[in-house]
Chains A and B, each alone.
Chain A
Amino acid sequence: MAKKKTIRTIPQERTPMPEQDAKERARNFKEVACGYTLENALREAERCLMCADEPCVRGCPVSIDIPHFIQKIAEKHYHGAYDVITDTNLLPAVCGRVCPQENQCEGVCTVGDTLEPVAIGRLERFIGDMAIKEGWVNLPHIEPSGFRVGIVGSGPAGMACAADMAKAGCEVVVYEAFHEPGGVLKYGIPDFRLPNDVINVEIDKLKQLGVRFECNTLVGRLFTIEQMLTEMGYHAVFLGTGAGYPSFMGIPGESLNGVSSANELLTRCNLMRGRDFPNFDTPIQPGRRVAVIGAGNTAMDALRVSLRLGAEKVYCVYRRGKAEAPARAEEIHHAGEEGVEFHWLTSPVEVLGDAKSNVRGMRCQKMELGEPDSSGRRRPVPVPGSEFEFECDSVVYAIGTNANPILGQTSKLKLNKWGYIGADGNLATSIAGVWAGGDIVTGAATVIEAMGAGRRAARAMKAWLGLRDTDVVYAPEAPHAGRRFGFAPDEHGYARVRVV
């Protein structure tokens, strides 16, 4: 038995993530963070104290058994680690990349009280990527339940809900308005942060579970939620349509050519592959000097995409300070390394145009932080006489979104006062048999929170349908991989062969 680890005996420094050089990567769309090597992962796994308290599990929106999977890595039993993660999280390769771990598992890590926390997200990604490389798929044994479940939206909330309902034996159809499934993972998050290949693998896994994807389908308009429950024969429906409807500020000059939302820029670049224009037909207005308003993760994506599209100067304009910026620390750090210039405590007053209605610059004013507001952050107040102008030819708004109105327009769903779908603690909506989760309920949040909501709704749907929420039972092993030799192969780290 190994000696108990203490904070003094573990590797003190957090294992750094191998990354593409900042100068080089700022001009390509290849992934920035290259992922842990085997040695990196083993070293980092050593840093977990396996503490009894397990605050990380509580910090995770889907309660992954984090110490357990890290222990499996330390034991070099990588498939075992994958099994532990997939018990609760369908998409380790995605979540390991895009979760804001510093506010979740890593934010409460015991090691983090003294040293830098264990790099849980990087380890999760290591396992997720290995599963993709090795072709591991944990297909559970599915007993058909006879229920049909319709899911609206193929983003993280819909995918998570689809997986759980499919595992419970339901016939699941996921409707997507775009021509490809994936939602924000595809149109929003750029390839250098989350490659589309990774998402496609995860979508294929869902297909292997029996989930059917119907693209080019705008629910609400092509058919209504009520129709899904009646003539289309769905026993339960989950709505995970995302927030949509980007916000603008209402300052002069916003309809000038060169002003867009981050959603538009990112969708043109990522999903529609406008970055490869004219080989792909969707154009992007390439800015030479781009100002992005906002400092959330979407803003960081817009800034870094603009650099990769060839901008010479890219400015981040944010009315609060760096400490208040909602983006993940790592994203801000990466953006800075790549050459993004940050203008903290700066608020736009007007977008300036030339005679041809093109953007020529922006007028801003400096801000200072006053008393805390309702969000607990100190409220920015303008500094009198601090207005200044600077030159830019493109302005991108990344200041959040409002509720998408389509489902409200086309159904009797009760909305809350902000226009989002009203849902109770179990995410049930005002229509019996319909649940909702993710951004369309909470407003803009994170991928993992949306996935958590999808799973929470799935639990409630199963209870409502009278399906028991049992532990995952994996498909039976092929006979030759069984206990014929008197041991379970996984106990000895043998690769499992699953024939399903």
Chain B
Amino acid sequence: MSNFEIVTREDYSDVTYMLEIRHPVMAKAAKAGQFVIVMEHEHGERIPLTLADFDPDEGTITLVIQAVGKTTREMQQRCQAGTTLFAVVGPMGIPSHIGGRKKVLCVGGGLGVAPVYPQARAWARSGARVIGVLGFRNKGVMFWEDKFRAVCDELIVCTDDGSAGIKGLVTRGMEEAMAKHADIDEALAIGPPIMMKACAAVTKPKNIHTVVSLNPVMVDGTGMCGGCRVKLLDGVKFACVDGPDFDAHMVDFDDLMSRLARFKPSEQAAMKKWEDDCRMVGAPGAERF
């Protein structure tokens, strides 16, 4: 399998974009909580991205990507409907454990909102009541509110500046939900590590079983390289084959954050070279940087 066609592209902000990719076999196999590894072109790096949606009827999978590094910015420029990606492999990782709960709190922050969606939907289908908490910087960069409303029994939107929903971080939304519902028996949080760490701290005193989805630096995504190892209270695990879901109260988030910065100098070098190359060839879009 190679050359995976991008069917749809949508932009949610100046840095966030959605790609819908044709992959009928994966669309059928995928389950909530799994991820894929993408290579944009033959010389590209392999980046792990958690599935934001999959549609077995349409035969497509959906990724929501934030342009932060060289690869994701290059993809933002080049990936349009009708173009192809060199490699897409997945679904990877152990699917989220869904079921056996009555009331589930699904928390997504920023880009993390997207991968929460399949899990929120799966929880709803399992018969649980789902309370969604979504956090964005401001109203302008919000996305998928309607998709969440369709699967959540209750939805709390938080923005940093208060331009939509309540003003504050997702932890405020969580506290609000937990004050109203004493019977929440499962929580799920996806977002930047610092946010997931804060969410874990909110649910810890109430002893609510909390799951986070981790997305450390990976190469193969099949357990072979060990680059994605995560420190837990009871040992070291590989996010690619032992995760990506882990018990939030067991994760050493500081270790995770430090390991995510592992290639920072190289990433900066790659970015600089790419920007220089863009300027040199006057590539379209170069002026944006």
Q: Contact residues of A with B, CB < 8 Å? A: 177-179, 187, 214-218, 221-223, 242, 244-246, 248, 250, 254-255, 257, 260-261, 263-264, 267-268, 272-273, 277-285, 357, 397, 404-406, 409
Contacts and interface: CB of A to CB of B under 8 A. Distances in A.
A254 B236 CA distance: 10
A285 B266 contact: yes
Contacts of B224: 187, 242, 244-246, 263, 267, 404
Contacts, number: 138
Contacts of B274: 278
Counting from the closest, the 8 A-B pairs by CB-CB distance are A283-B266, A264-B225, A281-B45, A179-B87, A261-B226, A282-B45, A244-B224, A216-B89
Contacts of B225: 246, 261, 263-264, 267
A267 B225 CA distance: 8
Secondary structure call for the A interface: loop
Interface in B242-256: 242, 255
A245 to B, nearest CB: 5
B223 interface: yes
Given A278-B270, A283-B270, A285-B262, A218 B222 contact: yes
A404 B240 CA distance: 11
Contacts of A406: 222-223, 241
Contacts of B91: 218, 221-222
A409 B241 CA distance: 9
Contacts of A285: 262-263, 266
Contacts of A178: 89, 220
B39 A179 contact: yes
A257 B29 CA distance: 35
Contacts of B263: 283, 285
Which one of A257, A281, A284, A409 has the greatest number of beta carbons of chain B within 10 Å?
A281
B92 to A, nearest CB: 6
Tell me what chain B mostly uses at the interface: helix, strand, loop, or mixed: mixed
A392 B269 CA distance: 23
B137 interface: no
Given A216-B2, A248-B236, 7 more contacts: A216-B87, A217-B1, A218-B90, A255-B236, A263-B226, A267-B219, A281-B45
B70 interface: yes
Contacts of A215: 1-2, 87
A221 B26 CA distance: 9
- How big is the B interface, by class? 35 or more
B1 A214 contact: yes
Contacts of B86: 179
B231 interface: yes
Contacts of A281: 43-45, 70-71, 270
A404 B222 contact: yes
B227 A223 contact: no
B206 interface: no
Given A244-B223, A248-B226, A267-B219, A221 B92 contact: yes
A406 B238 CA distance: 12
A267 B227 CA distance: 11
Chain A CB within 10 Å, residue with most, of B90, B225, B263, B274: B225
Interface in B132-146: none
A404 B92 CA distance: 13
A277 B270 contact: yes
A250 B231 CA distance: 11
B89 A273 contact: no
